[in-house]
Amino acid sequence: MKLVILGAPGAGKGTQAGLLADRLGIPTISTGNLLRAAMQQGTDLGKQVKEAMDAGKLVSDELIIQLVKERLGQEDCKDGYLLDGFPRTLAQAKALSGFAKIDGALSIEVSDSEIEHRMEGRRICSKCQATYHVEDNPPKVEGICDKCGGQLVIRKDDTHDVVENRLHIYHEETEPVKEYYRQEGLLLAVRGQKKLADTTQLVFDALGISL
Ligand code: AP5
């Protein structure tokens, strides 16, 4: 399966992508995680994108399209993948159609007020980037990743002002991508629920996959 996962920042794309990837045995390609890893390693790419990412702005289409194109060409993507955080603009969606044949685009719909609550409580693993929420999806041991034992940290772009900026950009730039996939007959929309497990059930049902 080759699936695009759409949704506002904090809608739960990464969380659901992780569960689907485990179930389907295909990789998740998260452009946010690729860029954060580049920043952590201090590569040229990391240096180029740091300012935009810290401010919650999008990095350039040209750069991100090249990054995804290269990543999808790797061996582990040949049987399918989940795209988390790409495409985010109409230009990216059109470029993707030029080099990949997508089976569907799943949109996770969550209100802006719920997003703000989620971002305030989000913690991510500094080693493997797994995602938690202090109330709704806590780790077994406070501050420690269940998967790899890494330390949990607050993402730099999860502050109130930066989240507002990211939501604004989402409505302006990314919502038109949903319409693009609707017109292509590929859009599946799911309403994000208060409980994580309820959203997972709806996502798996929409894709016709058993849990
Ligand atoms: P990216 O990392 O993609 O960030 P994002 O889209 O803003 O999405 P998030 O990772 O913040 O949220 P998510 O939807 O994955 O939610 P999560 O599962 O963590 O991008 C970061 C930056 O990189 C961008 O701002 C931009 O600068 C750059 N970038 C990336 N891709 C780009 C592109 N294509 N073009 C240009 N620039 C790009 O869940 C959130 C929280 O809620 C968690 O704490 C989770 O535990 C909790 N939660 C999840 N589901 C539920 C639920 N149902 N109930 C309760 N809690 C829940």
Mutate to test the pocket of ligand 1, among 5, 15, 49, 114 (most ligand atoms within 8 A of CB): 15
Which letter does DSSP use for residue 172 in this model? I
CA separation for the pair 49, 172 (Å, rounded)? 20
**211 has pLDDT over 90:** no
pLDDT average, residue stretch 56-68: 95
Residues 101, 48: contact at Cβ < 8 Å?
no
CB environment 115-135: b (16+ within 10 A), e (fewer): bebbbbbbbbbeeebbbbbee
Q: What is the pLDDT of residues 5-50, one digit of tens each?
A: 999 999 999 999 999 999 999 999 999 999 999 999 999 999 999 9
pTM: 0.92
In the chain, the percentage of residues whose pLDDT exceeds 90 is 91
Q: How far is CA 24 from CA 15, 63, 97, 128, in A?
A: 14, 29, 23, 19
CA separation for the pair 24, 102 (Å, rounded)? 16
**1 has pLDDT over 90:** yes
Q: What is the pLDDT of residues 69-123, one digit of tens each?
A: 999 999 999 999 999 999 999 999 999 999 999 999 999 999 999 999 899 899 9
CA separation for the pair 8, 85 (Å, rounded)? 9
**136 has pLDDT over 90:** no
157 three-state secondary structure: helix
User: Which residues form the pocket of ligand 1, taking CB atoms under 6 Å from any ligand atom?
Assistant: 7, 9-15, 31-32, 35, 52-53, 56-59, 64, 85-86, 88, 92, 118, 121-122, 131-133, 136-137, 157, 166, 192-196, 199
| DSSP H stretches of helix in 83-159 | 90-99, 112-121
CB environment 156-194: b (16+ within 10 A), e (fewer): ebbeeebbebbbebbeeebeebbebbeeeebbbbbebbe
Q: Which two tokens stand for residue 101?
A: 């044949």
Q: How confident is the model at residue 67 (pLDDT cuts 50, 70, 90)?
A: very high
Identify the structural domains of the chain with CATH numbers, from first to last.
Answer: 2-110+163-207 (3.40.50.300)
Average pLDDT score over the chain: 95
Give residue 148's pLDDT: 97
Residues serving a catalytic function are: 13, 88, 122, 155, 166
